[in-house]
Amino acid sequence: MGEPHPIRNIGIAAHIDAGKTTVTERILYYTGRLHRMGDVDHGTAAMDWMPQEKERGITITSAATTCFWRDCQINIIDTPGHVDFTVEVERSLRVLDGMVAVFCAVGGVEPQSETVWHQADRYGVPRVAFINKMDRRGADFPRTLQMMKDVLGAVPLPTVLPIGDGDSFEGVVNIIENRALYFDESTLGATFEYGKVPPDMRAEVDQARELVWESVAELEESAMEKFFADDLDEEEVRRLIRVGTLGGDFVPVLCGSALKNVGIQNLMDAIVEWLPAPEELPPVDGQTREGEPLRRERSADEPFTALVFKVRSDPHLGRLAHIRVYSGRVGDGDKVLNNRNGGRERLTRLVRMHADKRNHLDCIEAGDIAAAGLREAMTGDTLTDEKHPMILEVIEFPEPVMQMAIEPVSTSDEKDLEKALAELEKEDPTLRVDTDPETGQTLLKGMGELHLEIVADRMKREKGLEARTGNPQVSYRESVSSRGVGECEFTRAIKGRGHYGHARLAISPRPSGIEFTSRVDSTLLPQRFEEAVEKGVMGSVGAGPVAGFPMDGILVELLEARVHETDSSEFGYSAAAATAMGRALRNAEPVLREPIMTVDVVCPERYMGDVISDLNARRGKVESMGQRGVSRTVRARVPLAELFGYTSALRSLTQGHAGYNMQFLDFDRVPGNVAKNLLESMGIVDY
C-alpha cells in the first residue's frame, strides 16, 4: 500500500466538560488556524460559535473546521457532550473516518463518554484516546486506563506517560521515543524541550515500552521475529501501531492538559500517524434504486457519491447542506442527483467551513467534508452522479421524548413562526413540529428540556421571533397489555358506487414499534386490498383510545378479510380496518407508556444515601452502584416525568458536589395509580 492520502476526517467527542472543545482550540492554535486561543469558560472558543454555547459553556451543535499539520489536512468535527444533543455525535460518526476520545483524568470514563464510545463501536470508527486535565487535583492516569478496560471493554495502549499529576504535573514522556517533553508556558505550549526520562520513572517507562513493543509485534509474524531478535525499531513500531489502530486491536492513549497547553502536539502527531486516511477504509456499501446491493471504492476516479449529514441555515449563504464525499469529484455549479426524491439539484456556494466562517471551493472530491447550497436536500440524503445512482445507508434518529407548546406573541407572526419552525425541523432530525388535534396548539417535540429551551432561544435570536412557550411535557405513548380482536364489515354507496371492505384484526403487545402482518392467504385477498388494510391500520395509530397519545409497542395481525364479488374497494378495506382497529384496541386493555431514562449520578460517599432515597422517591429503580476514584456512582432507571428540575434538586441535595447524566432507555408501562392521576389532570375520568 502506498503512502496514505494526506487527509484525516476526525471527530473529537467525550462527556460534557471533559475538555474536548478546549483540545480543539489548542489544535487550531498550534496549526496556525487560530492566532489567539479561545476559552470555553469565557465564551471565546471559536468552535462554540452559537450565542447559546458561549453563554452556557457547552457545545450544542457539531462544528466543522479544517487545519493542517505535517502537510496533512485535518478535517475536525467538534461534537457535543450533552445527552440532549447525542444525535449530533451520531450523525458526525456516520461520516467520520477516525475519532479522538477525550477523557477527564479525574472523572475517568464518564457516562456520556461511554455512550459515544459504543456509538463509535457501532460504526467501526478507529480511535485514539487523550486523557485530559492531568493538572487537576485527583487526576489518575492508571485508573482511567483501567476504566477503559472495565467499562468500555477497550484495549488501551499508552504511548505517552504523564510526569507527575495534579499540582506536580510537569510534562509527558513519549514512550516510543523514550524521552521526556517539557512545554514552554511562555509560548503557550507552542515550543517544548526534550529531556531525559526522570530517574524515578525509568522502570515505569521501560515496562510501558515493553507493552508497546509486545502488542505491535503480535500483529505480524515478521515483526514478532524482529521483536525476539531485539531488532524492532521505532519506525516499524509506529507503522504497526497504525495497523493495530485501524484493525481495532488496541487504542493508542496519550495524555496532557489542554488548558495548560501540554501534550497537544503529541495528539496531533497521533492523528496524522495512526488514524486512517479515507482510502484506507473499506469501500462504501449502499444499494441501487431497485434495492440491489452496490459497493463503491473510496476513490476520486469512481462516480460521485456523497452523504448529507447536516443541514443548517447560514445568515450569509442561506440554506447549507454539510456533505461528506465518499467517491468521485464534483465542481461548484455542477448538477447532482438526490436519490431520495429523484430530483436534480445544482451544487452552489461550495465552501469549506471553519465553525461559522467559510472559504470558497472550486471543487470537492473523495475524502472531503464541505458544505453547499442545496434547496431540497435533507439529513441522510445520498447525492450522486446522475448516471450512477446509489443510496447509502440512512442515519437512524431516536424519537422525541418531550414536548412543549409554542405560539407567537402576535397573531401577525403566525406565518413567520410556521416558516421558522419548518426550517429548524429540517436542520434538526430529532425535532418534530406537530399540531395538537384537540386544541390546535403547535407542539415542539425534542430530546429534553435543554434541547427545547435552545430551540426556543434560537427562534428569538436567529429568526427575530418572540414566542410564548408552555412548560415542557413528557411525550407519552399508548399500547396494549393483552390480546384483543376487532372486526368490521364496511358497506356503503358513494355517488352511486358500492364500496365494500371487511377486516378482522388481532392486536397484541410487543416491546416497541408497530408491526403489521397478514395471516390471510394471498390468493384469497388481492395485494392492493391488503395494502389498503395496512393503510387503514397505520392511519389509526397516531392517536390511541385512552388519551390520544401515539400508539407504540403493538403487533397488528390481519386474521380474516372477506371479498365482495363486485363492490370490494381499497377505500372500503381501509375504512373497515380503521374501525376494526379501534374495536380491537378497546378489547386489548389499552395502557399508557412513558419514557424511561438511564440516570448516572456521581457523588461523594457522604451523599450516597440521600441520592438513592431521592431516586427512589422519583419512582427510580437503582440498577448498580460503583466506585469512581474517591466518588461513588449510582445507575438507575427513572421515568422522565419525575426528572423535571433534577439538576437543581441534585445540586441542593449534595451542596453542588454531584453531577449526573441521563439518556433515553425505552418506554415502559405507567403504573395504574400514576396513570389515573395523569388522566384525571387531563379531564379523563373513565380510565
Instruction: Give the max Cα distance, the chain.
Output: 99
What local confidence, expressed as pLDDT, does residue 16 receive? 67
pLDDT at 268: 95
Query: What pLDDT, on the 0 to 100 scale, is given for residue 53?
Result: 34
Centre a 10 Å sphere on the Cβ of residue 666 and count the other Cβ atoms it contains. Answer: 13
pLDDT digits (tens, 9 = 90+) for 377-403: 887 889 999 999 999 987 677 778 788
Structure-derived torsion over alpha carbons of residues 256, 257, 263, 266, reported in degrees to the nearest 10: 70
What interhelical angle do 234-247 and 264-274 show, nearest 10?
70
pLDDT digits (tens, 9 = 90+) for 92-115: 777 889 999 999 998 888 777 787
Higher pLDDT pick, 38 / 149:
149
pLDDT of residue 263: 94
Give the per-residue pLDDT at 84. Answer: 46
State the pLDDT at residue 86: 56
Backbone φ, ψ for residue 542 (5° rounding): -70, -25
Alpha helices of 352-448 — where are they, by DSSP H? 414-427
Other CB atoms within a 10 A radius of the CB of residue 482 amount to: 12
Secondary structure class of 196 (helix, strand, coil): coil
Residues 6+ apart with CB under 8 A from 417: 406, 407, 408, 442, 459, 465, 467
The pLDDT of 184-196, averaged and rounded, is: 85
Q: How many residues does the chain have?
A: 687
pLDDT at position 551: 92
pLDDT computed for residue 175 by the predictor: 96
Average the pLDDT over 626-650 and give the result: 86
Label the pairing between strands 160-163 and 171-174: antiparallel
The pTM is what?
0.71
Task: Give the model confidence (pLDDT) of 41-55 as tens digits.
Answer: 334 333 333 343 334
The mean pLDDT value of the chain amounts to 85
| Tens digits of residue pLDDT in 418-456 | 888 888 887 777 888 888 766 678 888 887 777 788 888
For position 55, what pLDDT does the model report? 40
**Residue 78: predicted pLDDT:** 59
pLDDT at residue 404 above 80? yes
| 561, burial (CB in 10 Å: exposed 0-12, middle 13-18, buried 19+) | buried
Estimate the crossing angle of helix 449-463 against helix 414-427, to 10 degrees: 120
Q: What percent of the chain has pLDDT over 90?
A: 48
Closest CA to 566 of 498, 491, 660, 484: 498
Per-residue pLDDT tens digits for 216-240: 999 999 999 999 998 899 999 999 9
Kindly state the average pLDDT of the residues 406-423.
85
Task: Give the model's pLDDT for residue 239.
Answer: 95
Per residue in 321-357, pLDDT (tens digit) is: 888 999 999 999 999 999 988 899 998 888 886 644 6
Do 527 and 573 meet the contact criterion of CB atoms below 8 Å apart? Answer: no
pLDDT at 132 exceeding the cut of 70: yes
The three-class DSSP label of residue 35 is coil
The answer, yes or no, to whether residue 526 has pLDDT greater than 80, is yes
